[in-house]
Amino acid sequence: MLRAVYKWVDERLDVTPIWRDVADHEVPEHVNPAHHFSAFIYCFGGLTFFVVMIQILSGMFLAMYYVPDIINAHASVKYLQTEVAMGTIVRGMHHWGASVAIVMLFLHTLRVFFTGSYKNPREFNWIVGVLIFFMMLGLGFTGYLLPWDNKAYFATKVGIQIAESVPFIGSYLATFLQGGDMVGATTIPRFYALHVFFLPAGLLGLLATHFILIRRQGISGPL
């Protein structure tokens, strides 16, 4: 069935050359676990991407039930966990996946640094990777408030106070994040918009750039 569908699409759009150009390329021997045990350290980037895809899919499911206002936010999360089939599992995947993604990305960044993979000609890709790291931190921060419980509220207040301490732009940054003078009714929809629209769009753009550069420059050599 799938083969017939693919053949039908391929006859009209000629997708096979595009797919082969993306997928068919040699992988260096030093990143093949069958030949080198140390090759496992090169898997953190792929694991990060895998977890990010889980975050996107689970987040799409959660967005169908979440209500971004101070009256219904916590109640909608509770309803998701108690009334929706598989809701607890999906929310758990999204909650813990956020931490796993940060850990995997941190390990990937350490691998790139200690193997010298940021050096010529990959300096620009290193910058893109650092931006991806900060984008992931932003997603974690904006998502933390959305359940609208005591822990989320006070943790967000601390985070905004840290942002407010930034020289010159701190007060403007705090006002932008809060949507006003305090964490309240305007903060949740602002964090929700950042978490669901703006930051994911930026992350996907950076990931696309990251993969294109890897494709052009190849995987870096061994230490």
Tokens (6 digits) for 191 = 């964090």
> Three-state SS across 37-73?
HHHHHHHHHHHHHHHHHHHHHHHHHHHCCCCCCCCCH
* Mean pLDDT of the region 196-219: 93
Considering the entire predicted model, what is its pTM? 0.90
Q: 8 to each of 13, 14, 164, 198, 214, how far by Cα in Å? A: 9, 10, 56, 36, 31
Map out the domains of the chain with their CATH numbers: 42-217 (1.20.810.10)
Going by pLDDT thresholds of 50, 70 and 90, the confidence category of residue 111 is very high
Q: Which two tokens stand for residue 16?
A: 């096979």
CB atoms within 10 A of CB 44: 19
Closest by CA position to 107, among listed 131, 129, 140? 129
Q: In the prediction, which pLDDT does 59 show?
A: 97
User: What's the pLDDT score for residue 199?
Assistant: 98
The reply to whether omega before 200 is within 30° of 0 (cis) is no
Name the pLDDT band for 2 (thresholds 50, 70, 90).
confident
Predicted local confidence at residue 220, as pLDDT: 77
pLDDT score for 7: 87
pLDDT exceeds cutoff 70 at 34: no
Measured CA to CA in angstroms, residue 90 lies from 93, 149, 151, 191 at distances of 5, 19, 21, 21
The rounded distance, in Å, linking the Cα atoms of 125 and 45 is 13
Judged by DSSP in three states, 173 sits in helix
